[in-house]
Each structure stands twice: as structure tokens, then as C-alpha cells.
């Protein structure tokens, strides 16, 4: 188990990688802003709406994944080697996300292989954070003593299962719309809480 400076470096490195990945998303859009006296924003929006949508969706995905990462790591005082490796896998998925995003934008969302690749990348990210949650729950010595317990592991299991369903559905004509299945996470979690009582 590693403490203090090593843990700070791990979290700071993760934050930096997320920031770089989020920045990479905007680079293809910068090319759309080349000087052209006849082009107005409405024209760009009409002609490049898919690229703008892909950017907004991926930025939202990265932000939500960073929030998950923050939730898992905010109460830790150290880390284990297994947690470090899971964090590495999570970072790999975050860094890779701009690539399927660009594929979706270039093919106007109609590339049959781009949607599954995009959903698979998010699935790796979600499942990695679930595994990180499990690792943390099994190593209470790396968690601050005044940290309240939460049902984040169960929530992570539900989200991971739904992501795998979304991945399967992404191979169908639903494509990216398969991600809407994640809206079931909260209702399923509430149902689980009622059953548990």
C-alpha cells in the first residue's frame, strides 16, 4: 500500500490525463472555425451538427466519468497496486475516447463499427470504476476513518451490467441510442433499496 506523496501523484496524474483527453475533443472542431466570410454559425451548426453533438456527448461522458473517479478517490488516504492498475485501465479508456468520437463525427453517426467501439470504450471506463470501488471496499485501511459507508458498489454493479447490455444493443440499428438504457440505473437502484428493506 502506498501513501501520501505517491497517492497525490496518482490522483494529479489522473486529473491531468482527463483534462488532456477533454481538450483533445475540441481539436477537430477548431478546424471548422477557419476564416470564411460567407460561413455563419448557423451554417456550421447545420453542416457539422454531428461533430458538435459528438463533442458535447463525449465531453459529458468524460465529465461524468471524472465525477465517478472523484467519488471513488476523494476519501482515500492511500492506494494498492491493484487499484493503481485499474486506474491505469480507466485512464486508457478516457484517453482513447476521442478516437471513436472522431469516427462517429466523420461518418455522421452511420459507421456500423463506430458506435460499438464508442460504447465499448465507455463500458471499459464504467467497469474499471466499479472494480476500483470493489478494491476500495476490500481495503478499508486506505480509506479515511471518518468516511461514511455508501452503496456505491451496488450502484456500480448495476451501471456496469447496463453498460454491457448497451454494448450488445450498440451492434443493432440502435447504435448510440443504446446508451439510453443507463437511464434505468436510478430506478433499478431504488427498487433494490426497497427490496433490501
Q: What percent of the chain has pLDDT over 90?
A: 50
**pLDDT surpasses 80 at 106:** no
Give the confidence band of 144 by pLDDT, cuts at 50, 70, 90.
Answer: confident
Contact in structure between 189 and 158 (CB atoms under 8 Å):
yes
Beta bridge partners of 143: 76
**pLDDT surpasses 70 at 116:** yes
Q: What are phi and psi of 102, to 5 degrees?
A: -65, -40
39-84 pLDDT, tens digit each? 666 766 777 777 888 888 999 999 999 999 999 999 898 899 999 9
**pLDDT surpasses 60 at 24:** yes
Cα gap 68→148, rounded to integer Å: 17
Residues 6 or more apart whose CB falls under 8 angstroms from that of 75 comprise: 143, 144, 147
Give the confidence band of 21 by pLDDT, cuts at 50, 70, 90.
Answer: very high
Cα gap 96→128, rounded to integer Å: 14
Amino acid at each position: 500500500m502506498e501513501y501520501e506523496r505517491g497517492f497525490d501523484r496518482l490522483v494529479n496524474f489522473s486529473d491531468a490525463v482527463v483534462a488532456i483527453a477533454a481538450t483533445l475533443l475540441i481539436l477537430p472542431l477548431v478546424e471548422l472555425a477557419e476564416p470564411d466570410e460567407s460561413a455563419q454559425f448557423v451554417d456550421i451548426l447545420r453542416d457539422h451538427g454531428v461533430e458538435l453533438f459528438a463533442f458535447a456527448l463525449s465531453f459529458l461522458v468524460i465529465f461524468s466519468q471524472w465525477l465517478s473517479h472523484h467519488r471513488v478517490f476523494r476519501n482515500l488516504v492511500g492506494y494498492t497496486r491493484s487499484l493503481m492498475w485499474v486506474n491505469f485501465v480507466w485512464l486508457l479508456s478516457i484517453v482513447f475516447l476521442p478516437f471513436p468520437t472522431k469516427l462517429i463525427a466523420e461518418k455522421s453517426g452511420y459507421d456500423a463499427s463506430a458506435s460499438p467501439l464508442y460504447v465499448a470504450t465507455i463500458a471499459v471506463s464504467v467497469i474499471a470504476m466499479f472494480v476500483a470501488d470493489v478494491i476500495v471496499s476490500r481495503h478499508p485501511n486506505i480509506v479515511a476513518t471518518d468516511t461514511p459507508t455508501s452503496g456505491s458498489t451496488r450502484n456500480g454493479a448495476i451501471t456496469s451490467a447496463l453498460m454491457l447490455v448497451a454494448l450488445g444493443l450498440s451492434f443493432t440499428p440502435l447504435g448510440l441510442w443504446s446508451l439510453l438504457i443507463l437511464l434505468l440505473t436510478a430506478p433499478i437502484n431504488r427498487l433494490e433499496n426497497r427490496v433490501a428493506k
